[in-house]
Structure formats: structure tokens, C-alpha cells
């Protein structure tokens, strides 16, 4: 009984983790870039959702209509203004480490700028969904987490379809596979990067707002999700949407079910151990493909 409860919780949280990884895997897969500031953008999404709810009373789920496009634009701009120049200067280099460092600087900047603006106090949004649970035969299912999970599945499906069926999506995948050939085919590589980054950040905005009903809001709240997102992306295989979801579920389950048997502090250790194991044995992740890059 307890295990089932833990399982349910693990699955729901796993979905959220998977969503955080979704944006990252797209960015990672297309641009081969680690976005160290990913957690910071989740935090931006959180604050956006929080302020929207507190100042205007718009339902946090409806507010997504505003937040997601706003963060897309933010991502587009950041990529265009900051990342592109560094990227360009490293065109010959196989691994754009410079961008990793740049995003690390971005992370420091965004987190501490938020600290300056909003102060270090913790906030929570008391929405009508907070604390709501559904009782299913003795098992308690947290409503906001359930909604987050459903939206995650939907988002993953939409993204997947977008990447497979639309021209833009195919262009993105093509650029990810081989940018030189893609460029030869007439694709504006840098514009694609802008869009991909924008989508990735839009997804983090989505995650951030989904967290608002059941999590606290704080300038440094995004960092923890950051590390997990990286681990999940590697586990699932970069560029793989189902991989991100399944990786997220795996982490969520380890955290939730594992904690029933060992102290919570050790589950973290297990997550890292699994991560290292996968890197060692199957670096392309559980669902990725051997990519020549």
C-alpha cells in the first residue's frame, strides 16, 4: 500500500522532472550545448507564474498561455544576443565548451539578480489547487502534481509531433544531426538555434509555472532541478523526447520508492551512481542513438 503510494508520487514527480529535462534535451540535442542556466529559467518561470497569480489572480494554468510564449521570446533573445557570438567563435571546435561557461555566468547572473530584485524570503502561492488531493481508495493523489503530469504528457506529445511532422521541426532535427549539411540544404542554422533555444526555454517556463501551486518560490529554487535535468538528459539520451520523460520517471521512482527503504539522503547518492554508471556503460543514454558528432 505504501509502496503504491510512493510509486504514484514517484511517477507524478518523475513527470515533472521529465518536463524539466525536455527543454534541455532539445537544446542539448540540437546545439550540443549544456545550458547551465536551465534551472535559472525554471526559476524565472516560477516567479512569472507567482506574480501573475498574486497580482492579477489569473488561474495558474490559464496563465500558461501568457507565460510560455513570453519565455520563448526570452530564450530566443538570449540565444541570439549572448550565445550565438560565442558559438560562432567556436565553430571549428568539436565541443563548444565556451557556451557552457557562458551559460554558467548567465546562471550566476540571473539567480543573483533575482535575489537582488525579490529578496531572499520564501514565498508560496496559495492557489485553489494547493493542497488539494484526490482520495482514490485510500491512496492520496496530489491534484496539482497530477495536472502537472498530464500537461507534461501533452507537452511531450506536442513537441514530439512538432519535431517529426512539421517542416520546422524536421529542420531542427536536421540541424542537430549535421549542421553543415543542413546549412548546405538552405537551412539558416543560427535561426534554427534561436528557435530551438526559445522552445527549450519556453518549456522551462512551463515547468516553473506548473510548480507554483505546490512548491515554494525562491531565487535559488531552480538549481536543484538543474542538476536533475542534466542527469535525466544523459540517462534518456540527448535529443530524445521519450528518453527525457522516461529518464525523469526513473529518477522520480528512485527518489520516491527508494526513500522508503533507505534514508532520503542516500537516494541522492544512488541517482548520481546510476548516472555515472549509464555514462560509463552507455553514454548515448538509454534511448539515444550513436551520433557522430
- Shortest CB 81 distance to other proteins, Å: 10
Q: State the Cα angle at 227 between 152 and 107, rounded to 5°.
A: 100
Nearest approach, Cβ of residue 184 and other proteins (Å): 23
Which residues lie below 8 Å from residue 38, measured CB to CB, with a gap of 6+? Answer: 20, 23, 24, 27, 204, 222, 225, 226, 229, 230
- In whole angstroms, how close is the CB of 26 to other proteins at the nearest point? 14
In the bound state with other proteins, the residue whose beta carbon lies nearer, of 24 and 246, is: 24
**Cα separation of 179 and 158, whole Å?**
24
Question: For residue 284, what are the contacts with CB-CB under 8 A and spacing of at least 6?
Answer: 237, 238, 290, 291
| Contact by Cβ (8 Å): 238, 144 | no
Answer yes or no: are the C-beta atoms of 172 and 192 closer than 8 Å.
yes
Nearest-approach distance from CB 269 to other proteins, in angstroms: 4
Cα angle for residues 225, 88, 205 (degrees, 5° grid): 25
Shortest distance, position 70 Cβ to other proteins, whole Å: 22
Half-sphere exposure of 236 (CA within 13 A, CB side): 33
Q: How far is the CB of 103 from other proteins (least distance, A)?
A: 9
DSSP state of 166: S
CA distance 291 to 293: 6
Do 22 and 41 form a contact (C-beta atoms < 8 A)? no
**Residue 181's CB: how many other CB atoms inside 10 A?**
11
Inter-axis angle of helices 189-211 and 38-56, nearest 10: 50
Q: Least distance in Å: CB of 15 to other proteins?
A: 12
Q: Smallest distance, Å, CB 162 to other proteins?
A: 24
Cα 268 from Cα 48, distance rounded (Å)? 29
The cell for 232 is: 535525466
Tell me how far the alpha carbon of residue 103 is from its chain's centroid. 15
Amino acid at each position: 500500500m505504501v509502496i503504491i503510494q510512493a510509486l504514484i508520487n514517484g511517477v507524478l514527480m518523475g513527470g515533472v522532472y521529465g518536463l524539466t529535462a525536455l527543454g534541455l534535451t532539445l537544446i542539448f540535442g540540437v546545439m550540443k550545448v549544456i545550458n547551465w542556466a536551465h534551472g535559472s529559467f525554471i526559476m524565472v518561470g516560477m516567479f512569472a507564474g507567482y506574480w501573475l497569480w498574486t497580482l492579477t489572480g489569473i488561474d495558474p494554468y490559464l496563465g500558461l498561455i501568457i507565460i510560455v510564449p513570453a519565455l520563448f521570446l526570452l530564450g530566443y533573445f538570449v540565444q541570439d544576443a549572448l550565445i550565438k557570438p560565442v558559438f560562432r567563435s567556436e565553430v571549428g571546435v568539436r565541443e563548444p565548451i565556451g557556451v557552457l561557461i557562458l551559460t554558467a555566468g548567465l546562471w550566476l547572473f540571473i539567480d543573483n539578480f533575482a535575489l537582488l530584485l525579490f529578496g531572499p524570503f520564501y514565498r508560496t502561492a496559495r492557489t485553489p489547487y494547493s493542497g488539494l488531493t484526490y482520495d482514490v481508495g485510500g491512496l492520496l493523489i496530489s491534484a496539482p502534481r497530477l495536472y502537472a503530469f498530464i500537461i507534461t504528457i501533452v507537452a511531450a506529445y506536442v513537441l514530439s509531433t512538432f519535431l517529426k511532422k512539421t517542416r520546422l521541426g524536421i529542420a531542427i532535427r536536421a540541424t542537430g544531426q549535421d549542421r553543415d549539411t543542413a546549412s548546405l540544404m538552405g537551412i539558416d542554422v543560427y535561426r534554427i538555434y534561436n528557435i530551438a533555444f526559445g522552445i527549450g526555454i519556453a518549456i522551462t517556463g512551463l515547468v516553473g509555472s506548473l510548480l507554483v501551486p505546490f512548491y515554494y518560490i525562491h531565487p535559488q529554487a531552480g538549481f536543484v532541478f538543474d542538476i536533475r535535468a542534466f542527469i535525466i538528459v544523459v540517462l534518456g539520451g540527448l535529443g530524445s523526447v521519450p528518453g527525457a520523460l522516461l529518464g525523469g520517471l526513473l529518477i522520480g521512482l528512485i527518489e520516491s520508492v527508494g526513500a522508503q527503504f533507505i534514508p532520503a539522503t542516500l537516494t541522492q547518492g544512488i541517482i548520481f551512481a546510476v548516472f555515472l554508471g549509464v555514462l560509463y556503460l552507455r553514454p548515448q543514454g538509454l534511448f539515444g542513438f550513436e551520433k557522430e558528432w
